[in-house]
């Protein structure tokens, strides 16, 4: 998908919601346990009930790898179930030396057919650029993450008082363009969103951390939105575990609808 | 395995060789193509021919994920084939928010039964510590990698002229101990090995980049060895693709034997 196509879907759905498909066995509604592939059925019902509000879906690979070899088949079935007009993100946080990153890129973009993959920047340029060689595909590079540990290294400053996450933005934006790189900026980092936007005014940002992790949607939109929205805000647990009973699909829909209503207002205010 | 057990194997084999099991289909000897699981047969033959010299084996996950869902079964069979007295490393370079890193840890340590997993430090403490909660298991944290891109961020210096990789070593060594954390330091970074050893004199280092990437074994040993060796030097392509014909096992053995002879000398000189 191009950024224009993503923005068109945002306008059509009046929403910039990304749903994180991160299922764990212990939290699946019990009536699904008798299904042949309970996680796939769970994902399908979540998708059915959120597809009017979500412009993107983001399965985190850890949840599928933890299921053993069959987990990747469940992931592939889930991905194949998603319609073409939603943006699909493999939250994998990969990054390796060049030839190895190239293998990851082929796995996620060609074999599984994801639109985007999250990548960790620590190993630098040649660990990222192999992911940029696929037409219409995206790297979503970790810049400032939503977790407490983001303070350990991402906020370290150099002699010019630039934080590491700013260096990552400055350098990496030249490795590609706003048409094939996005950045992860946590919703818990809202005080730094303005510095992020100074460096990358046009890029899309993937924003986790609204909801369970405590970030505010309103503040994220005020500081982070640009004229083509420029935000994909992710919610995982708040939606997929809105209910642990048979009504989990409807409960997920209700949560997604509430977020969509807030997002529509924010789009009309800031975009 | 404990560090003492690893050192005992190093003394017994007079070698600190780690063999990288990174097979790509295009480079497999052609006669293996008719096997039901060519990569597993390839790995088994490489293991059979290097087990007297190697104290560790390191499959990089990318090579197995690129094979599709069946790839992880091939990896598991390979791992199950390895005897208990070799140290097994999942070269996965993972790292995510706490609960998600915990899932990766369970996948690699409990389900697959690896001894160690490589982890990227960018997301900080809570992305690493979930891997440290498994008795007898190891985190191998990226510090200074062997690739060109290591210059982009790992070498950035703060106002006290400390490079990021030094900050990573300083902070993370307190998250665990020399009994559950090792560090990746590329053989191409030999000029920085002394600064690494000032910060972590006792930890084991996993050293990629000897051979195909151009690092010197002699220089690595001189600057990096400690009184319990403290080094695992990895070779992948130099060993597993020493020959592309039917004699690939014997060719791998010859390469491993040559490295072992050099390593024995270095152990007697510097350890």
Helix-helix angle B38-50:B70-81, to 10 degrees: 20
Give the pLDDT mean for A208-235.
Answer: 91
What residue in B sits closest to A66 (Cα-Cα)? B107
Decide if A153 touches B, using CB distance below 8 A.
yes
Q: Are A115 and A137 in contact (CB under 8 A)?
A: yes
Three-state DSSP at A138 gives strand
Q: Give me the mean pLDDT over the B76-95 stretch.
A: 97
Q: Which two tokens mark A211?
A: 């909801």
End-to-end CA distance of chain A: 21
Predicted ipTM of the assembly: 0.96
- Contact call for residues A123 and A172 (beta carbons, < 8 A): no
Residue A212: predicted pLDDT:
67
Nearest residue on chain B to A77, alpha-carbon basis: B69
**Residue B173 designated active-site:** no
Specify the DSSP element, H or E, that contains B198.
helix B193-199
- Span B140-158, average pLDDT: 96
| Residue to test with chain B: of A24, A99, A153, most B Cβ within 10 A | A153
A194/B contact by beta carbon, under 8 A: no
> What's the average model confidence in pLDDT over A175-183?
98
Who among B65, B103, B167 is closest to A107 (CB)?
B65
Q: Do B111 and A66 touch (CB under 8 A)?
A: yes
- Whether pLDDT at B83 is above 70: yes
Q: What is the pLDDT of residue B194?
A: 93
Confirm or reject contact between B37 and chain A (CB < 8 A). Answer: no
Query: What is the helix (H) or strand (E) element at residue A129, kind and residue range?
Result: none
Confidence of residue B5 (pLDDT cuts 50, 70, 90): very high
Average pLDDT over residues B2-6: 98
Split at pLDDT 50, 70, 90, the class of B211 is confident
Contacts within 8 Å (CB) and 24+ apart, A134-139: A134/A105, A134/A109, A134/A110, A136/A1, A136/A2, A137/A105, A137/A109, A137/A180, A138/A180, A138/A181, A138/A182, A139/A176, A139/A180, A139/A181, A139/A182
CB contact under 8 A, B124 and A68: no
| Cβ-defined contact of B149 to A167 (cutoff 8 Å) | no
Q: For B114-141, what is the mean pLDDT?
A: 98
The answer to whether the Cβ–Cβ distance between A68 and B111 falls below 8 Å is yes
* Residue B44: pLDDT over 70: yes
CA A52 distance to own-chain centroid:
18
| Distance of alpha carbon B263 from alpha carbon B269, whole angstroms | 10
The B residues from 108 to 127 touching A (CB cutoff 8 Å) are 111, 120-127
Helices within A207-247 (DSSP H only)? 217-224, 237-240
Buried b (16+ CB within 10 A) or exposed e, B237-267: ebbbbbeeeeebbebbbebbbebbebbeebb
Per-residue pLDDT of B229-261, as tens digits, reads 999 999 999 999 999 999 999 999 999 999 999
Closest to B172 (Cα-Cα) out of B196, B191, B188: B196
Specify whether the CB–CB gap between A156 and A150 falls below 8 A. Answer: no
Report yes or no: B212 at the A interface, CB cutoff 8 Å: no
Residue of A122, A128, A129 best to disrupt the B interface, most CBs of B under 10 A: A122
Beta bridge partner(s), residue B139: B117, B181
Instruction: Point out the catalytic residue in the list B77, B93, B254, B265.
Output: B93
For residue B122, the Cα-to-chain-centroid distance in whole angstroms is: 19
CA distance B11 to chain A (A): 31
Contact (CB<8Å) B149/A127: yes
How close, in Å, is residue A6 to chain B by CA atoms? 26
| Catalytic positions of A, written as ranges | 93
Residue B107 is encoded by which pair of tokens?
């996948």
Query: Across all residues in chain B, what is the average pLDDT?
Result: 96
Task: Tell me the CATH class for B3-270.
Answer: alpha beta
A178: left (phi over 0), alpha (psi -120 to 50) or beta: alpha
The residues with which B235 forms a beta bridge, in sequence order, are: B19
Q: Is the pLDDT confidence value at A52 over 70? A: yes
Q: Given this model, what pLDDT does residue B212 score?
A: 66
User: What would the two tokens of residue A148 be?
Assistant: 């407490």
* B 164-183 near A (Cβ less than 8 A): 164, 167-168, 171
| Segment B99-128 mean pLDDT | 97
Q: Distance between CA atoms of B151 and B135, rounded to whole angstroms?
A: 34
Residue of B nearest to A102 (CA): B62
Nearest-angstrom CA–CA distance, A175 and A182: 12
Spell out the residues 6+ positions from residue A99 whose beta carbon is closer than 8 angstroms to its own: A130
Query: What is the nearest CA distance from A269 to chain B, expressed in angstroms?
Result: 32
The predicted structure's pLDDT at residue A73: 94
Output Rg (C-alpha) for chain B, integer angstroms.
18
| CB atoms closer than 10 angstroms to residue B161 | 9
> Does the pLDDT at position A137 exceed 80?
yes
């Amino acid at each position: 998908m191009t950024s224009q196509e993503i923005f068109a879907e945002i306008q059509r759905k009046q929403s910039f919601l990304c749903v994180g498909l991160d299922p764990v066995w212990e939290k699946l509604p019990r009536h699904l346990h008798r299904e042949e592939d309970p996680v796939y059925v769970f994902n399908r019902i979540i998708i059915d009930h959120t597809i009017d509000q979500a412009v993107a879906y983001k399965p985190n690979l850890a949840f599928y790898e933890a299921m053993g070899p069959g987990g990747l088949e469940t992931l592939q079935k889930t991905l194949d179930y998603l319609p073409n007009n939603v943006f699909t993100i493999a939250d994998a946080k990969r990054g390796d030396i060049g030839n190895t990153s190239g293998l990851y890129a082929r796995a996620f973009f060609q074999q599984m057919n994801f639109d985007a993959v999250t990548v960790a920047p620590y190993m630098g340029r040649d660990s990222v650029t192999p992911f940029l060689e696929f037409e219409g595909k995206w790297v979503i590079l970790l810049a400032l993450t939503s977790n407490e540990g983001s303070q350990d290294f991402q906020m370290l400053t150099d002699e010019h008082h630039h934080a590491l996450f700013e260096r990552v933005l400055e350098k990496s934006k030249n490795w590609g363009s706003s048409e094939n790189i996005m950045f992860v900026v946590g919703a818990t980092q809202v005080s730094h969103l303005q510095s992020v936007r100074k460096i990358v005014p046009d890029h899309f940002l993937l924003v986790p951390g609204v909801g369970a992790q405590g970030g505010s949607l309103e503040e994220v939109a005020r500081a982070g939105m640009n004229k083509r929205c420029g935000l994909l805000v992710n919610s995982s647990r708040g939606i997929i575990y809105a209910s642990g009973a048979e009504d989990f699909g409807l409960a997920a829909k209700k949560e997604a609808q509430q977020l969509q209503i807030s997002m529509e207002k924010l789009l009309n205010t800031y975009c």
